[in-house]
Structure 1
Amino acid sequence: MAKSLLFIPDISGFTKFVQTTEVTHSQHVIAELLEVLIEANTEELQLAEVEGDALFFYREGELLSQEKLLAQIETMFTAFTGHLKLLEKNRICPCNACATAPKLELKIVAHCGDIEFIEVQGNRKPFGKQVIEAHRLLKNSVESDNYVLISKELSSDIELPIYYYSKVFRFKEGKDIYDQKEVEYIYSIIDNNKLNIGEYSTAKEVVLEDNPGIVLDRNFSIAAESLMEYITNLSYRHFWVKGVDKFEYNENEVTRLGSEHVCVINNKHLNFVAVKKKVKPGKYVYGEMTKSIPVADTVYQFYTISPISDNSCNLKIELYWEIRSLIKKLAMMLFAHRIFRKNTENSLNLLDQLVEERRIVIA
């Protein structure tokens, strides 16, 4: 029987990440990173299972050549690291989960051997001694959480030299004992600075020369970080923004600069994108921009939150618009301005009501 490849990318620091940060956002971040790793599977490896913070891939009855295996490993590290940089640059949320996400690391274990299969609820899964051994190799004595480990058996089969090195890889020998059996391997710590990270989109800072057309502000009896969550987490939006039939957005993504969502009103789709502007240090800001509102070419709405104490803050809402047409300018002056202001006031009242109701429930 030809040997099969076993391949496990595992996100390092996940347990600590979840235990010490906000659970919901950490789950979203991990889910995003797992999706990135799955998309980086260029060798069409079979995904056997998502194992919490790890993915279990295999290739039945066939090993990759050393060139393809190393290329696949480098591709996954590059995609993973690039996405962490995107999260860091485009972060809006001040919570610990989003702030510490860029510190997550990746380890990949590759092994091989004869495997069997079991059927679980109609799904065919690899099973056997080599599968167990591959997972045990995740617990090793490598002094890093950002590395690739290849079993000696696999490296021998694909003729990968023990001390192979390149720009990205510099392998060393290692061994550990599992169930009274010594298992040898080679490993390379990955220096992320050596990876060829491509360009990733970062949101440009909005510079507005004119004063806002509408300004409203109110104090809230809630921590600034918590109010920011109510505003940026689109799952709360229907509680405090009325008149919208449906909000469409990526439910598995933490809102960040460049995130998009759609408001469906009477079968009309209004597209919004998250943007930023400069604020003084210590303040939080979240903005949305749309070109979908008929009476203006572009509309910006910014929410600036200023902490007052540990459990109170001030929210300032500012609306800006850019209009080139004289007809649209007239429409804004005659009726649209009043409608915008009334809708914003209603949203501010409902947001205040939502915060108060949640505060009473928690208390």
Structure 2
Amino acid sequence: MENRRALLLIADIGGYTEYMQYHRSMLGHAEAATTRLLKKVVDAARGFELIEIEGDAAFLSREAGGLDGDATLAAVIDAAVAMHRAFHAERRLVERNLCPCESCTQTADLKLKFVAHVGEVATQTIRRRRKLIGMDVILVHRLLKNPVPVPEYVLLSEDLYRDGAVTPPERPVHEIAHDLEGIGPVRAYFVEVDDLAGPLGPMPEPSLLERVGGTLGMVGRGLRYIPRRRGLAAH
């Protein structure tokens, strides 16, 4: 397997576990909501390739061999801002569909955070499924467990941050240090998403046609869960 330099980015839905646990009685709609959100997130990541959906997160990659440090950092910031906007626009559409269930109406607590790193990876293919492997892949996933105190942020590994120079002064950068399991002490740097893109502000109100279409999509996805739940209730 040949190693290559890659930019690694994970978009992770914050509050996902609590959301799924709280709305387990309407699991079909909760699953449909998060699926829609992740799809919009992936579609907004221009220039990045989806490697895998990992539950509540999307793991993406982009070749970094031809990018200098400033370009790698700019690629992460641009993608994060676009994905964040797409996530919240879709979240608003889910929230405003005509279904009254709490899985649909209470998505406001879902947030989107990012971790990013640049390093060496190799490709492994098993039964036509392509995966990235290597210590740098492990590192970017370990960074998901961190002490960042804000809900929506972009966390940059030290390699990516130092390689990409310093972000402009209007974007406050905060340093954190913590131990990664199996790796040891590392430094990383985070920027709040609002400091990159500005506050979201009011989301546009969806049209009645968009609300009806969103409702039909949620109902359709929820139907496949009904027989299973009835079967469980019978026991």
TM-score, reference length from structure 2: 0.79
Equivalent pair of 1:78/1:197 in contact (CA under 8 Å): no
Higher relative contact order (CA 8 A, sep 6+): 2
Equivalent pair of 1:140/1:176 in contact (CA under 8 Å): yes
Task: Return the alpha-carbon distance in structure 2 between the equivalents of residues 261 and 137 of structure 1.
Answer: 36
Structure 2: which 5+ runs fail to align?
217-228
Q: Within 5 Å, which residues of 2 pair with 1:313-332?
A: none
Task: Return the alpha-carbon distance in structure 2 between the equivalents of residues 143 and 57 of structure 1.
Answer: 24
Equivalent pair of 2:97/2:104 in contact (CA under 8 Å): yes
* Matching residue of 1:10: 12
* Matching residue of 2:74: 67
Deviation of 1:197 after TM superposition, in Å, equals 6.5
Task: Return the alpha-carbon distance in structure 2 between the equivalents of residues 203 and 99 of structure 1.
Answer: 17
Task: Return the alpha-carbon distance in structure 1 between the equivalents of residues 76 and 58 of structure 2.
Answer: 16
Instruction: For residues 44-80 of structure 1, give each alpha carbon's deviation from its aligned partner in whole angstroms, at most 9, with x where no partner exists.
Output: 2111111111111112343543333211111111111
Q: Within 5 Å, which residues of 2 pair with 1:104-119?
A: 104-119=110-125
Equivalent pair of 1:8/1:54 in contact (CA under 8 Å): yes
* Matching residue of 2:141: 135
Match of 1:30, SS? helix
Structure 1: which 5+ runs fail to align?
205-254, 263-357
Q: Within 5 Å, which residues of 2 pair with 1:87-98?
A: 87-88=94-95, 90-98=96-104
Deviation of 1:261 after TM superposition, in Å, equals 9.4
Q: Within 5 Å, which residues of 2 pair with 1:1-363?
A: 3-21=5-23, 22-42=26-46, 44-62=47-65, 63=67, 64-88=71-95, 90-161=96-167, 164-166=168-170, 169-178=171-180, 179=182, 181-191=184-194, 194-195=198-199, 200=204, 202-203=206-207, 257-259=211-213, 362=233
Q: Which has the larger radius of gyration?
A: 1
Equivalent pair of 1:66/1:160 in contact (CA under 8 Å): no
Distance 1:78-1:132 versus aligned 2 partners, 3 A rule: same
Give RMSD over aligned pairs. 3.1
Task: Return the alpha-carbon distance in structure 1 between the equivalents of residues 105 and 169 of structure 2.
Answer: 34
Equivalent pair of 1:82/1:198 in contact (CA under 8 Å): no
- Structure with higher helix content: 2
Task: Return the alpha-carbon distance in structure 1 between the equivalents of residues 19 and 61 of structure 2.
Answer: 27
Instruction: For residues 312-349 of structure 1, give each alpha carbon's deviation from its aligned partner in whole angstroms, at most 9, with x where no partner exists.
Output: xxxxxxxxxxxxxxxxxxxxxxxxxxxxxxxxxxxxxx
Distance 1:37-1:145 versus aligned 2 partners, 3 A rule: same
* Matching residue of 2:224: none
Task: Return the alpha-carbon distance in structure 1 between the equivalents of residues 233 and 166 of structure 2.
Answer: 58
Runs of 4 or more consecutive aligned structure 1 residues displaced over 6 Å after TM superposition = none
Distance 1:121-1:160 versus aligned 2 partners, 3 A rule: farther
Deviation of 1:16 after TM superposition, in Å, equals 1.1
TM-score, reference length from structure 1: 0.53
Instruction: For residues 187-239 of structure 1, give each alpha carbon's deviation from its aligned partner in whole angstroms, at most 9, with x where no partner exists.
Output: 022339924669745235xxxxxxxxxxxxxxxxxxxxxxxxxxxxxxxxxxx
